[in-house]
A and B are shown apart, each in its own frame.
Chain A
Amino acid sequence: MKSTRDVFLTLLFFVLTVGGWEFSTRFFGVADYILPPPSQIAAALYRGLSSGLYLRHAGFTVLETVSGFVLGGLVGILLGAVIAANRYVEFLVYPYIIMFKSMPKVALAPIFTLWLGLGMTSKIVSAAIICFFPLMVNTIAGVKSADEDRISLMRSMGASRFQIFCYLQLPSALPFIMAGLELAVVLALIGAIVAEFVGARAGLGTLIQNMSNNMDGAGQFSVLFILSAIGLTMSLIVRWVKKKVLFWDPSVKSNQSTQI
């Protein structure tokens, strides 16, 4: 728990940072469209929220992000499990994985927009493809991480390959899968926003672009604030699920007190 002194210092630091920002933008006469003062950002945030404009656009972005996360995550886990379980599939697919792994997946966004149009589908696919890789790679590593002694023990009990997979390899992969999900949830938001930049009818990315065209600096910053809040909320949800699922894993057991 935080002491009163810590709370005081935290507040003081916040006030100094925001106050310093407010003061210098006004004192040096920085143009609003370059760096708006915090008071104007707060006002823009209030206007955007109270008019319902931000919520409407955020709804699109969140739906695209979550759908892409779920879709890309599921496909990544499934394909990772199949690849890890079957040496031959791994042999055939691995060269492609290596090639795609090092490619910046957001660069595919224009192609998806071309193929799938300006609607939500192209954003969902863009978010999914960026989530897919960390989950596939982590699932492969996780399934392979199953302890040799545990595999031997299960074999001595007469377990089938499928039973060894369900009872041992999949639970052993869970810490890797959860780490992949933590990474993917942030990536999914990036995928959705970049795809919105390429071309969309609604969403926070579209909103930022419109504001940029109108030189509305305060508006852009206020939407960035909303995006951080969305990213943080989704990360916290994944982390909460991770704690519930991995209650037995040393990474969760030892970090319980230090995580935000």
Chain B
Amino acid sequence: MPPGAGDAIVIQGVSKRYGGTRDGEGILALDRLDIALADASFTVVVGPSGCGKSTLLKILAGIHAQSSGEVIIRGDVMTGPRRDIGVVMQSPVLFPWRSVIRNVLLPIDVQKLGREKYRRTAEDLLSLVKLDGYADRYPWELSGGMQQRVAIARALVNDPTLLLMDEPFGALDAMTREHMNVELQRIWLERRKTVLLITHSISEAVFLADRVLVMSARPGRIVDDIAIDLPRPRPREVMSSPAFTAYVEQIAAHFGGVGGHGE
């Protein structure tokens, strides 16, 4: 995948080795990844647990450093955490002593952008994630799904170039999870951010993605790159369509058959 001009994010030859010393090899978690993410695209990385997909996300978030290779964001080589990247983790990671709106405004506080200036933005985002009227509530008064909506609003508040999501609905029950996927698609269609989402659920990947990158078990490599050509907005029912099922089977084949629980 050669880096193109319209690509927001280019990952070039990125490897990550853990615990490597002079006398030992360590563990190779990521093996020379080359990925280019087009502007305003929704890319999902799917792979078995332990394949290094979370490592990739942490490198992009600036939390871990890669062992070799480069990440280029809108032409700049990344050297550490970037303020134009929003992160949504598996758990909501809210701050219980802050009200909902002040949780959303946390990146604004950290980046000293002026809380008052962004209050409207934060309120609009709370509407976008359907939490009108919850601004002054506290996270512990909200359900798990609602908390994750707050986390999404927080990740969007400073208008990031890239939105990183690490199994954002993995901790939710199956029903809520499906609903949140529909919601995430709606939010994405309204905001059109460049999104990189990581999951081990193949159907979630196919439902959300413009493009699914299939990752192998350790060391993590991209073994397939599938464009998902299903019209948007995709209703929940799309999941039982033959085209959807064909995509799921194509991906599941990489993990040893339908069901797709690799390893």
Q: Which residues of A contact B (CB under 8 A)?
A: 147, 149-150, 152-159, 163, 167-168, 171, 174, 248-250, 253
- Known interface pairs A154-B110, A158-B62; 19 further A-B residue pairs with C-beta atoms within 8 A, sorted by A's residue number: A150-B93, A152-B89, A153-B87, A153-B89, A154-B106, A155-B81, A156-B63, A156-B87, A157-B81, A157-B107, A157-B111, A159-B110, A167-B109, A167-B110, A168-B95, A171-B97, A174-B97, A248-B140, A253-B140
Offer 26 A-B interface pairs, CB within 8 angstroms, sorted by A.
A149-B93, A150-B93, A152-B58, A152-B61, A152-B63, A152-B89, A153-B87, A153-B89, A155-B62, A155-B63, A155-B81, A157-B83, A157-B87, A157-B106, A158-B62, A158-B80, A158-B81, A158-B110, A159-B110, A167-B109, A167-B110, A248-B96, A248-B97, A248-B140, A250-B140, A253-B140
Say whether B181 faces chain A, with CB atoms less than 8 Å apart. no
- Neighbouring B residues of A147 by C-beta, 8 Å: 93
- Residue in A147, A155, A249 with the greatest tally of chain B CB atoms within 10 Å: A155
**Inter-subunit contact B109/A158 (CB<8 Å):** no
| B83 touches which of A152, A158, A249, A250 (Cβ 8 Å) | A158
Q: Which residues of B contact A152 (CB under 8 A)?
A: 58, 61, 63, 89
Q: Is B138 at the interface (CB under 8 A from chain A)?
A: yes
Closest to B140 in A: A248
Contact with A along B100-111 (1 / 0, CB 8 A): 000000110111
Inter-subunit contact B111/A149 (CB<8 Å): no
Q: Which of B101-130 contact A (CB under 8 A)?
A: 106-107, 109-111
Classify the secondary structure of B's interface with A: loop
Residue B9 CB within 8 A of the other chain: no
Query: Whose C-beta in chain A lies nearest to the C-beta of B58?
Result: A152
Q: Is B91 an interface residue when CB atoms closer than 8 A count as contact?
A: yes
Given A150, A157, A248, which contacts B110 in the complex, CB threshold below 8 Å? A157
Least CB distance from B23 to A in Å reads 26
Compute how far the CA of A158 lies from the CA of B97 in the bound complex, rounded to whole angstroms: 21
State whether B83 touches A171 (Cβ < 8 A).
no
Q: Are A150 and B81 in contact (CB under 8 A)?
A: no
A149 touches B91 (CB 8 A): yes
B82 nearest in chain A by CB position: A158
Mark out the residues of chain B between 34 and 70 whose CB falls within 8 Å of any chain A CB in the assembled complex.
58, 61-63
Q: A150 contacts which chain B residues (CB < 8 A)? A: 93, 95
Is residue B85 contacting chain A, with contact meaning CB distance below 8 A? yes
Q: Closest CB of chain A to B59's CB: distance in Å?
A: 11
Q: Among A156, A158, A171, which residue has the most Cβ atoms of chain B within 10 A? A: A156
CA distance in complex: A71, B198 (Å): 51
Q: What's the least CB distance linking B63 to chain A, in Å?
A: 5
Closest 5 CB pairs of A and B: A156-B61, A248-B96, A158-B83, A159-B110, A248-B97
CB pair B96–A249 under 8 Å, yes or no, is yes
State A152–B95 Cα separation when bound (angstroms). 13
In the complex, what distance in Å separates the CA atom of A157 from the CA atom of B107? 6
Looking across the interface, which residue of chain B has its beta carbon closest to that of A159? B110
